[in-house]
Each structure stands twice: as structure tokens, then as C-alpha cells.
Amino acid sequence: MERTEHHASFGGRQEVWQHASRSTGTPMKLGVYLPPAALKGEACPVLYWLSGLTCTEQNFITKAGAQQFAAEHGLILIAPDTSPRGDDVPNDPAYDLGQGAGFYVNATQAPWATNFRMEEYVVHELPEVVAALLQQQGVKTSGRQGIFGHSMGGHGALTLALRHPGAYQSVSAFAPIVAPSAVPWGQKVFTAYLGEDRTQWLAHDTVALIPGAKERLPILVDQGADDEFLSQLQPELLKAACEQVGHPFTLNMRPGYDHSYYFIASFMGEHMAHHAAALKAAG
């Protein structure tokens, strides 16, 4: 592991690390924010952020304004890249497929299957990497972790929490793609990564996963009412699915807000408080 950036921030430290990933077969970068409490030796929960299409680890750590709230609540923040990258990694000219568009699934179709294994990376490898990195710095964790994200990353946060019960103790999303099987973004990517069998797609579709969820982890979603991609997001479908089975769900429709990080930063404090309450509760 190689540290490529470190900056003082709200009494803590924002870092960027790079490591060789066994899941993707490529170097992967991740942002790591260590709050003051962690630097003082307190055991802190870990909160993972998954970014959206075209993003890297940089978008969140420079635009979301999350560090001040992580410092306040004593949360370690981890923000990985959105896909494998490199000259030898498959890609596509469009922004919504290939590098920058991992969609947090394990691809099964050529040429994507070798490198595009983002579910394996986020759920299994990344916690191991983070544990080793923190141990190297003498930083302790509480053993509890949460996950949240934006757009494609919101899809990732919700589906990974639902697909891996017990792995996360809190979940939330900003403008998530909640029914990728039913919208162009998801249909394009799922066809490429998972193949033509649409029954395989439903295993990575939040609306489809809700009825059979093995735990009812409360979901918080914020959505800009003036989001230019609202037709691809359709939060009302998730609301209806949760109401049908009694899954705890809060949807905040935010008038005037779009899909940008201006929207995310405006409500980041509420999401961080949501995670802090769950992650600091008795295990």
C-alpha cells in the first residue's frame, strides 16, 4: 500500500492510498478520512461511500463536505474508486459503461469479467485492506460499519447492504438508481456485465431485493426533486416496495435540488447523523 496524499482536515487527516487489488487485478485508489477521535486512539466505526458514474475517489473527498461531520461524530470515512482502471482494462467510449462505471457488481461476461469485480472488492477485499492500513497506523475500529453512496453508488450501497445481511449496520443513499433492471442505465450495463438473462439482473436491483430482504435495515434516501435524471432513478418505486413489506424507509424529496454535489453537500450532515446513530448504538 502506498499513501499518495495526506492533508489535515477538521482536526483529523484526509489521506489517499493506492494498492494492488486481487479482486480487479489492477491498482485501486481509496480516500481515507481519519477523524480526531481515531487519531487519539478511540475505536471508531467505518463508513463506506460509493460514488456515481464517471467519479473517482476524489469527487467525494473534495466536494461532499463530509469531513467536518465525520470529525464531529467520530467516523472513519472510506471512499474507493468506482471501477478498475488502466490501459489494459476493458473500456467503452460512453460514460455509462466501462471504466468509471463499475456498478458494484461482479461481471460474468467477456471482456468485463476479469477486472470488473466491484462487489467482491467493496464487500470482501476493501474491509481487509482498510483493516491492514489502519492497523499499520495504530488506528482502532469498533467493528461496526455502514455504507452509503450517490446515484450508481447509491444503487451499490443499497444492493450490497441487502445482498450481504449483517455486513453493514447502517445504509443510506443520495439519488440512487433503485430499479436498474427497468431503466436505460441499468439495462445497458447489466446486459454488458451480466448477460441477457434478466433474472440475473434482479439480484442487483434494490426494488426487486426488498421483498426478500433477510433484515430490515432502515433506509434513508434523499432525492433532488429537480434532478435531471429523475426518470432513471424513480424513488417512488422503492417507496412502494418498502411500504408493501413494511421495510423501514425514509424518502426526502428536496425541491429545487439537482443531481450534483451541491445537492449532496447540502444534506450530508443529516446522512452522517443517521449513520452515527446506528453505528454507535449497542451492537
Please check whether residue 101 is in contact with residue 95, taking contact to mean a CB–CB distance below 8 angstroms. yes
Active-site residue, selected from the candidate residues 150, 204, 259, 274: 259
Active-site residue, selected from the candidate residues 227, 247, 274, 275: 227
Active site residue 274: no
pTM above 0.95, yes or no: yes
The pLDDT of residue 188 is 97
Non-local CB neighbours of 181 within 8 Å, separated by 6+ positions: 187, 190, 198, 201, 202, 205, 208
Q: Which residue in 278, 248, 59, 29 sits closest to 152, CA to CA?
A: 59
d(CA 264, CA 66) in angstroms, rounded, equals: 10
d(CA 163, CA 159) in angstroms, rounded, equals: 6
Q: Which residue in 268, 182, 166 sits closest to 220, CA to CA?
A: 268
Please check whether residue 164 is in contact with residue 59, taking contact to mean a CB–CB distance below 8 angstroms. no
Cα dihedral across residues 118, 120, 126, 127: positive or negative? positive
Active site residue 259: yes
Non-local CB neighbours of 199 within 8 Å, separated by 6+ positions: none
d(CA 208, CA 237) in angstroms, rounded, equals: 10
Grid cell locating 237:
418505486
Active-site residue, selected from the candidate residues 9, 151, 170, 181: 151
d(CA 131, CA 145) in angstroms, rounded, equals: 12
pLDDT in tens, the chain (283 residues): 999 999 999 999 999 999 999 999 999 999 999 999 999 999 999 999 999 999 999 999 999 999 999 999 999 999 999 999 999 999 999 999 999 999 999 999 999 999 999 999 999 999 999 999 999 999 999 999 999 999 999 999 999 999 999 999 999 999 999 999 999 999 999 999 999 999 999 999 999 999 999 999 999 999 999 999 999 999 999 999 999 999 999 999 999 999 999 999 999 999 999 999 999 986 5
What's CA 203's distance to the chain center, in Å? 17
> Cell numbers 422503492 correspond to what residue?
238
The pLDDT of residue 145 is 98
Active site residue 260: no
Non-local CB neighbours of 94 within 8 Å, separated by 6+ positions: none
- CA dist 137 to 21, 34, 132, 190, Å? 20, 10, 9, 39
d(CA 181, CA 161) in angstroms, rounded, equals: 18
Grid cell locating 137:
497506523
